[in-house]
Structure 1
Amino acid sequence: MPVTGESKVIDTILNRRSVREFTDRPVSKDEINTILNAGRWAPSGLNNQPWRFIVVREKGTIMQLSECTHYTKVVAGAPLLIAVYLNTENSYSHTKDVQAIGAAIQNMLLACCELGLGAVWLGEILKQNEKVNSILECSSKLELMAVLAIGEPVPKERTSTRKALSELVFEDRYGQKWDK
């Protein structure tokens, strides 16, 4: 059952799930532009916008990239991949830039959800970053941060759980539990 928040944005955040199975329907150019625009509007320190995106739709390239991860089936089954990079040439603080890229990725995942698309954030593929960079022929100034697999989700129920706020939040100092 969907979780209900107080606004459309909150509802999208609470209802987004990682999707690992996709139909064959291609993702349209308009949908891709919406996803990329959501990413580029993420906050970044000094507004340096350190992210760079490589859009992958060609099936042969998708198949090559699927061999760079234990999640071969997920990648091979996606009609769209977006490789997310840190532009080290534009970086001013590696930690803050990585955080900004995390925000960009979250924005893109939420945009996918809002568009009725499914997506999953793949980090394990970073273990093969040199191979990925070679396949995508990208500049050595780009540091791979993640690959997003995106497409129309295969219809099925997707559920998730979260720890209670009382397990995660403390008031004033560590040890004093948050009480709703």
Structure 2
Amino acid sequence: MPLSPAESRELLHLRDIDIRGYLRTDGMLDIEAHMVDTKTYSFGNHDRGQINAGEALHGMWLRLTVDTGLTVRRAEAAMDSTPHAICPGVAPNFARLEGLTIGRGFLKGAMERVGGTQGCTHLRELLQQVATVSIQTMFSIKAHKAAREGGASEDRWEIPAALLNSCHAYDEEGELVKAVRERAAARALSAV
């Protein structure tokens, strides 16, 4: 269902974010994010001079390499375009994310390591989405492996405990959770 029709308007700012989850040959995951901000108009900047319409104001990369337990084994940031010449100086600080585990407390731990003046607002904003894509990629690995081994069907899917009560769909008193639990109970009875 689309949004309601918009009023007459003019596009001024674009933020494009691409996040990809890769399975590496060594069994670890690379989660790679790229964010680009552009404007539809040209404007002046004290460090860069004129920034033309469509030219990147922010062009930033973040890659986390995580193991199967979702522990960050390597973190790397790069800044192709920034509004200020000083900004790329904090990119190496994102290596401090190494050792954190994606899950409860991840964002708090990240803020302790690259928060405030030790990091970049724009790269920190990507961390929530990178964490989510890490989890989704881990689910993809398990599903892909099951499909190669004869396929786990949809009726065998179980809701991970970490997802319970995380959103409307996973309300542990809701219809979806009830239906999944009923299918699991029926499978257990038929196995007896």
* TM bin (shorter chain): under 0.3
More strand by share: 2
Give the number of the structure whose residues are more often helix, by fraction. 1
* Greater Rg by CA: 2
Higher relative contact order (CA 8 A, sep 6+): 1
